Amino acid sequence: MAWRSSGTSNAELVENMVRNGLIKEPEVKEAFLKVDRAHYAPSFPYDDSPQPIGHAATISAPHMHATAVEHLLPFVLPTDDRPAPRVLDIGSGSGYLTHVLAELAGSRAVVVGVEHIAALRDLGEKNMNKSDRGKELLREGRVRFRVGDGRKGWVEPGEEDKKWDAIHVGAAAAELHQGLLDQLKSPGRMFIPVDDDDGGWGQHVWCIDKDEHGKVTRKKLFGVRYVPLTDPPGH
Protein backbone atom coordinates (compact mmCIF):
# COMPACT_ATOMS: atom_id res chain seq x y z
CA MET A 1 0.00 0.00 0.00
CA ALA A 2 2.90 2.37 0.76
CA TRP A 3 3.44 3.71 -2.76
CA ARG A 4 -0.03 3.53 -4.24
CA SER A 5 -1.33 6.92 -3.17
CA SER A 6 1.91 8.87 -3.72
CA GLY A 7 1.57 12.08 -5.73
CA THR A 8 3.63 15.00 -7.02
CA SER A 9 1.61 17.60 -5.11
CA ASN A 10 -0.54 17.75 -2.00
CA ALA A 11 -3.71 17.79 -4.11
CA GLU A 12 -2.59 14.75 -6.11
CA LEU A 13 -1.72 12.80 -2.96
CA VAL A 14 -5.17 13.57 -1.51
CA GLU A 15 -6.94 12.67 -4.77
CA ASN A 16 -5.06 9.36 -4.88
CA MET A 17 -6.10 8.58 -1.30
CA VAL A 18 -9.72 9.31 -2.23
CA ARG A 19 -9.44 7.09 -5.31
CA ASN A 20 -7.93 4.26 -3.25
CA GLY A 21 -10.76 4.48 -0.71
CA LEU A 22 -8.54 5.67 2.16
CA ILE A 23 -10.34 9.01 2.36
CA LYS A 24 -14.10 8.50 2.22
CA GLU A 25 -15.74 11.50 3.82
CA PRO A 26 -15.85 14.86 1.99
CA GLU A 27 -14.95 16.72 5.21
CA VAL A 28 -11.80 14.63 5.52
CA LYS A 29 -10.79 15.35 1.93
CA GLU A 30 -11.33 19.06 2.47
CA ALA A 31 -9.23 19.08 5.64
CA PHE A 32 -6.36 17.16 4.00
CA LEU A 33 -6.40 19.59 1.06
CA LYS A 34 -6.09 22.53 3.46
CA VAL A 35 -2.88 21.28 5.10
CA ASP A 36 0.24 21.09 2.93
CA ARG A 37 2.32 18.10 4.03
CA ALA A 38 5.44 19.88 2.74
CA HIS A 39 5.27 22.04 5.88
CA TYR A 40 5.53 18.90 8.03
CA ALA A 41 7.50 16.23 6.14
CA PRO A 42 11.11 17.32 5.50
CA SER A 43 11.64 14.98 2.52
CA PHE A 44 9.31 13.46 -0.08
CA PRO A 45 6.20 15.06 1.49
CA TYR A 46 3.82 13.67 -1.14
CA ASP A 47 5.06 10.07 -0.94
CA ASP A 48 2.69 7.70 0.78
CA SER A 49 5.34 6.49 3.21
CA PRO A 50 6.63 7.47 6.67
CA GLN A 51 9.57 9.94 6.77
CA PRO A 52 12.14 10.50 9.53
CA ILE A 53 11.71 13.79 11.46
CA GLY A 54 14.63 13.34 13.91
CA HIS A 55 14.81 12.04 17.48
CA ALA A 56 14.00 8.50 16.27
CA ALA A 57 10.52 9.70 15.31
CA THR A 58 8.74 9.57 11.96
CA ILE A 59 5.86 11.43 10.41
CA SER A 60 3.41 8.60 9.74
CA ALA A 61 2.46 7.68 6.19
CA PRO A 62 -0.43 9.67 4.68
CA HIS A 63 -2.62 6.55 4.42
CA MET A 64 -2.23 6.02 8.20
CA HIS A 65 -3.18 9.64 8.90
CA ALA A 66 -6.21 9.26 6.63
CA THR A 67 -7.29 6.02 8.30
CA ALA A 68 -6.95 7.51 11.78
CA VAL A 69 -8.97 10.59 10.86
CA GLU A 70 -11.71 8.55 9.16
CA HIS A 71 -12.13 6.50 12.34
CA LEU A 72 -12.13 9.44 14.74
CA LEU A 73 -14.26 11.74 12.54
CA PRO A 74 -17.67 11.37 14.31
CA PHE A 75 -16.03 12.51 17.56
CA VAL A 76 -13.96 15.30 16.00
CA LEU A 77 -16.60 17.14 13.96
CA PRO A 78 -18.63 19.72 15.90
CA THR A 79 -22.34 18.87 16.41
CA ASP A 80 -25.25 20.40 18.36
CA ASP A 81 -24.39 18.07 21.26
CA ARG A 82 -20.67 18.72 20.95
CA PRO A 83 -20.21 22.30 19.73
CA ALA A 84 -16.63 22.59 20.99
CA PRO A 85 -14.84 19.25 20.49
CA ARG A 86 -11.73 18.52 22.56
CA VAL A 87 -9.17 16.41 20.74
CA LEU A 88 -5.90 14.97 22.07
CA ASP A 89 -3.07 13.94 19.71
CA ILE A 90 -0.48 11.96 21.66
CA GLY A 91 2.95 11.72 20.01
CA SER A 92 2.23 14.75 17.82
CA GLY A 93 5.70 14.61 16.20
CA SER A 94 5.63 16.73 13.06
CA GLY A 95 2.31 18.34 14.08
CA TYR A 96 0.71 17.40 10.76
CA LEU A 97 -2.16 15.37 12.12
CA THR A 98 -2.71 17.86 14.95
CA HIS A 99 -3.28 20.51 12.27
CA VAL A 100 -5.61 18.33 10.18
CA LEU A 101 -7.68 17.49 13.28
CA ALA A 102 -7.99 21.20 14.09
CA GLU A 103 -9.31 21.92 10.58
CA LEU A 104 -12.09 19.37 11.20
CA ALA A 105 -12.95 20.22 14.79
CA GLY A 106 -14.26 23.73 14.12
CA SER A 107 -13.72 27.21 15.48
CA ARG A 108 -14.63 26.44 19.12
CA ALA A 109 -12.49 23.30 19.38
CA VAL A 110 -9.29 22.70 21.31
CA VAL A 111 -6.74 20.29 19.84
CA VAL A 112 -3.72 19.48 21.99
CA GLY A 113 -0.60 17.74 20.69
CA VAL A 114 1.53 16.04 23.37
CA GLU A 115 5.20 15.09 22.90
CA HIS A 116 7.61 13.66 25.43
CA ILE A 117 10.59 15.23 23.61
CA ALA A 118 10.67 19.03 23.94
CA ALA A 119 12.43 19.42 20.57
CA LEU A 120 9.54 17.61 18.86
CA ARG A 121 6.96 19.70 20.70
CA ASP A 122 8.81 22.70 19.27
CA LEU A 123 8.95 21.10 15.81
CA GLY A 124 5.16 20.73 15.67
CA GLU A 125 4.75 24.39 16.57
CA LYS A 126 7.46 25.50 14.13
CA ASN A 127 5.85 23.54 11.29
CA MET A 128 2.42 25.02 11.99
CA ASN A 129 3.93 28.48 11.99
CA LYS A 130 4.93 27.99 8.31
CA SER A 131 1.39 28.83 7.16
CA ASP A 132 -0.86 31.80 7.97
CA ARG A 133 -3.62 29.37 8.86
CA GLY A 134 -1.36 27.44 11.22
CA LYS A 135 -0.29 30.70 12.87
CA GLU A 136 -3.94 31.64 13.36
CA LEU A 137 -4.81 28.29 14.95
CA LEU A 138 -1.91 28.67 17.39
CA ARG A 139 -2.65 32.32 18.15
CA GLU A 140 -6.29 31.56 18.94
CA GLY A 141 -5.31 28.68 21.24
CA ARG A 142 -7.24 26.22 19.09
CA VAL A 143 -4.05 24.18 18.72
CA ARG A 144 -1.61 23.80 21.63
CA PHE A 145 1.59 21.74 21.74
CA ARG A 146 2.64 20.43 25.17
CA VAL A 147 5.47 18.37 26.67
CA GLY A 148 4.38 15.36 28.70
CA ASP A 149 4.22 11.61 28.97
CA GLY A 150 1.32 10.69 26.73
CA ARG A 151 0.87 7.35 28.48
CA LYS A 152 -0.77 9.36 31.25
CA GLY A 153 -2.90 11.34 28.81
CA TRP A 154 -2.97 15.09 29.27
CA VAL A 155 -4.84 17.56 31.46
CA GLU A 156 -4.82 21.17 30.29
CA PRO A 157 -3.93 23.63 33.09
CA GLY A 158 -7.14 25.32 34.24
CA GLU A 159 -9.28 22.72 32.45
CA GLU A 160 -8.89 19.91 34.99
CA ASP A 161 -12.55 18.88 34.79
CA LYS A 162 -12.53 18.49 31.00
CA LYS A 163 -12.01 15.19 29.21
CA TRP A 164 -11.43 14.41 25.53
CA ASP A 165 -13.99 13.60 22.83
CA ALA A 166 -11.34 11.99 20.65
CA ILE A 167 -7.86 10.70 21.47
CA HIS A 168 -5.35 9.81 18.75
CA VAL A 169 -2.23 7.95 19.80
CA GLY A 170 0.60 8.14 17.24
CA ALA A 171 2.97 5.61 18.88
CA ALA A 172 2.47 2.00 19.95
CA ALA A 173 1.44 1.52 23.58
CA ALA A 174 2.61 -1.50 25.59
CA GLU A 175 -0.94 -1.75 26.89
CA LEU A 176 -4.18 0.18 26.81
CA HIS A 177 -3.23 2.59 29.60
CA GLN A 178 -6.05 3.06 32.11
CA GLY A 179 -5.14 6.73 32.61
CA LEU A 180 -5.84 7.37 28.94
CA LEU A 181 -9.14 5.53 29.06
CA ASP A 182 -10.21 7.51 32.14
CA GLN A 183 -9.64 10.75 30.25
CA LEU A 184 -11.94 9.76 27.40
CA LYS A 185 -15.37 11.38 27.52
CA SER A 186 -18.65 9.45 27.53
CA PRO A 187 -19.24 9.24 24.64
CA GLY A 188 -15.78 9.35 23.14
CA ARG A 189 -13.41 7.44 20.88
CA MET A 190 -9.70 6.56 20.98
CA PHE A 191 -7.54 5.34 18.07
CA ILE A 192 -4.49 3.60 19.55
CA PRO A 193 -1.84 1.16 18.31
CA VAL A 194 -1.12 -1.42 21.03
CA ASP A 195 1.53 -4.16 21.20
CA ASP A 196 0.07 -7.62 20.74
CA ASP A 197 -0.02 -9.46 24.06
CA ASP A 198 1.77 -12.57 22.76
CA GLY A 199 5.21 -11.12 23.63
CA GLY A 200 6.17 -10.80 19.95
CA TRP A 201 6.86 -7.70 17.81
CA GLY A 202 3.35 -7.36 16.41
CA GLN A 203 1.08 -4.38 16.98
CA HIS A 204 -2.53 -3.71 16.10
CA VAL A 205 -4.55 -0.53 16.03
CA TRP A 206 -7.54 -0.61 18.35
CA CYS A 207 -10.62 1.57 18.18
CA ILE A 208 -11.85 2.10 21.73
CA ASP A 209 -15.37 3.46 22.19
CA LYS A 210 -16.87 4.74 25.42
CA ASP A 211 -20.64 5.10 25.15
CA GLU A 212 -22.81 7.71 26.88
CA HIS A 213 -23.17 5.39 29.91
CA GLY A 214 -19.41 4.86 30.22
CA LYS A 215 -19.44 1.36 28.75
CA VAL A 216 -16.19 0.60 26.91
CA THR A 217 -15.94 -1.54 23.77
CA ARG A 218 -12.70 -2.43 22.01
CA LYS A 219 -12.37 -3.25 18.33
CA LYS A 220 -9.14 -4.61 16.84
CA LEU A 221 -8.64 -2.97 13.44
CA PHE A 222 -5.40 -3.99 11.63
CA GLY A 223 -1.70 -4.72 12.09
CA VAL A 224 0.81 -1.81 12.05
CA ARG A 225 4.46 -0.86 12.69
CA TYR A 226 4.62 2.26 14.86
CA VAL A 227 7.50 3.61 16.96
CA PRO A 228 6.87 2.76 20.63
CA LEU A 229 5.25 4.96 23.25
CA THR A 230 8.13 5.05 25.75
CA ASP A 231 10.12 7.03 28.30
CA PRO A 232 11.93 9.91 26.58
CA PRO A 233 15.48 9.00 25.45
CA GLY A 234 18.07 9.09 28.27
CA HIS A 235 15.69 8.12 31.09
Q: Which of 20, 129, 131, 230 binds ligand SAH (CB under 6 A)?
A: 230
How many other CB atoms sit within 10 Å of the CB of residue 21? 9
**Using CB under 6 A, which of the segments 29-37, 74-82, 145-153, 156-164 binds ligand SAH?**
145-153
CB of 220 to ligand SAH, least distance (A): 21
Catalytic, out of 5, 6, 60, 92: 60
For ligand SAH, give the closer residue by CB, 213 or 235.
235
Question: Does residue 60 have an active-site annotation?
Answer: yes
Q: Does 99 bind ligand SAH (CB under 6 A)?
A: no
Per-residue interface string for the shown chain with ligand SAH, residues 26-55, x marking contact by CB under 6 A: ------------------------------
**Under rule CB under 6 A, which residues in 118-137 are in contact with ligand SAH?**
120
Whether 129 contacts 138, CB under 8 Å:
yes
**Nearest Cα residue to 78 out of 126, 42, 27, 129:** 27
Backbone φ and ψ of 24, nearest 5°: -110, -40
Report if residue 183 touches ligand SAH, rule: CB under 6 A. no
- 87, 97, 166, 167: residue in contact with ligand SAH (rule CB under 6 A): 97
Instruction: Examine residue 171 and tell whether it contacts ligand SAH (CB under 6 A).
Output: yes
What is the distance between the terminal CA atoms of the chain, rounded to a whole angstrom? 36
CA-nearest of 110, 120, 118, 139 to 40 is 120
The least distance separating ligand SAH from the CB of residue 25, rounded to whole angstroms, comes to: 20
Q: Which amino acid is at 212?
A: E
| Residue 111 in the binding site for ligand SAH (CB under 6 A) | no
Which string of DSSP letters, residue by residue, matches 118-166? HHHHHHHHHHHTTSHHHHHHHHTTSEEEEES-GGG----TT-TT--EEE
Size of the site for ligand SAH (CB under 6 A): 24
Q: Is 58 in the site for ligand SAH (CB under 6 A)?
A: yes
Among 102, 96, 99, 70, which residue's Cα sits nearest to residue 189?
Answer: 70
Catalytic residues: 60
